[in-house]
Amino acid sequence: DTEVTQTPKHLVMGMTNKKSLKCEQHMGHRAMYWYKQKAKKPPELMFVYSYEKLSINESVPSRFSPECPNSSLLNLHLHALQPEDSALYLCASSQDGALLLEKLFFGSGTQLSVL
Amino acid sequence: SQQGEEDPQALSIQEGENATMNCSYKTSINNLQWYRQNSGRGLVHLILIRSNEREKHSGRLRVTLDTSKKSSSLLITASRAADTASYFCATHNTDKLIFGTGTRLQVFP
């Protein structure tokens, strides 16, 4: 299994809603990432987990809350988002938890719309 | 901004032609990576070249790196319609992987 699976594929939420994005990989990778990508722009790093511990937080607003319950699963909890948070949210993983940011495997993303 | 710049922003070619896209960056790097993204989908890792390497090949892909000029190029030979996608360079420096602005490649059958 060489896939990173993200659910849901599409999500529409209001500004008062609470929702979660889910990401799963079964490649035994020990680093997992959340990226945000606006239309026609490059992906921007949000969070990095290494060996299930948060190792990088790119000064992301607290309305985004990541969670790594185990080595295969990564969640992104969303609360009180703003319309400008609408974007494609990409999860990725890489093999070595100590050697970060090399050869990332990406999921297909969750297209989020905040109304 | 630390973001890399890619040129051209868009490139249209016929099947069978070669496609070359360039990436320039600003800081020292550990390695440089190229990724492909089909419309609205996730990115696919294509190739990684380390800072002490000058050229690397993978199938129809050829990547060069010139650290003195802080630039890299990706050559796709004998392009196919299936190569139509956006291509991003990404520079790795310690704890950051910064994606470039991307090149949108259209290959016409």
Q: B9-54, pLDDT tens digit by residue?
A: 999 999 999 999 999 999 889 999 999 999 878 899 999 999 999 9
Which residue from A48, A101, A108 is facing B42, i.e. has the nearest CB?
A: A108
User: So what's the pLDDT on residue B94?
Assistant: 77
Do B3 and B91 form a contact (C-beta atoms < 8 A)? no
B14/chain A closest Cα distance in angstroms: 23
Q: Which residue in chain A is spatially nearest to B30 when comparing CA positions? A: A102
With a cut of 60, say whether residue B3 has pLDDT above it: yes
Chain A: give the shortest CA distance to residue B89, in Å. Answer: 10
Q: Using a CB-CB distance cutoff of 8 angstroms, which residues of chain A are in contact with residue B35?
A: 104, 106
Average pLDDT over residues A96-112: 89
Q: What are phi and psi of B60, to 5 degrees?
A: -90, 5
Q: Is the pLDDT of residue B2 over 60?
A: no
Q: Is the pLDDT of residue A1 over 70?
A: no
Query: What confidence score (pLDDT) does residue B40 get?
Result: 75
pLDDT at A96: 84
**CB-based contact A43 B99, cutoff 8 Å:** yes
Res A100: pLDDT: 78
Where residue A72 falls among pLDDT bands split at 50, 70, 90?
Answer: very high
Q: Which tens digits make up the pLDDT trace of A41-52?
A: 999 999 999 999
> What integer best gives the mean pLDDT of chain A?
94
Torsion of CA A85, B34, A95, A21, to 10 degrees: 20
* Interface contact flag, B33 A111, Cβ < 8 Å: no
The pLDDT-based confidence of A97 (bands split at 50, 70, 90) is confident
Q: Is B50 on the interface with A (CB under 8 A)?
A: no
- Chain A hits for B40, CB-CB cut-off 8 Å, are 88, 109, 111
The closest of A76, A59, A60, A99 to A19, measured between CA atoms, is A76
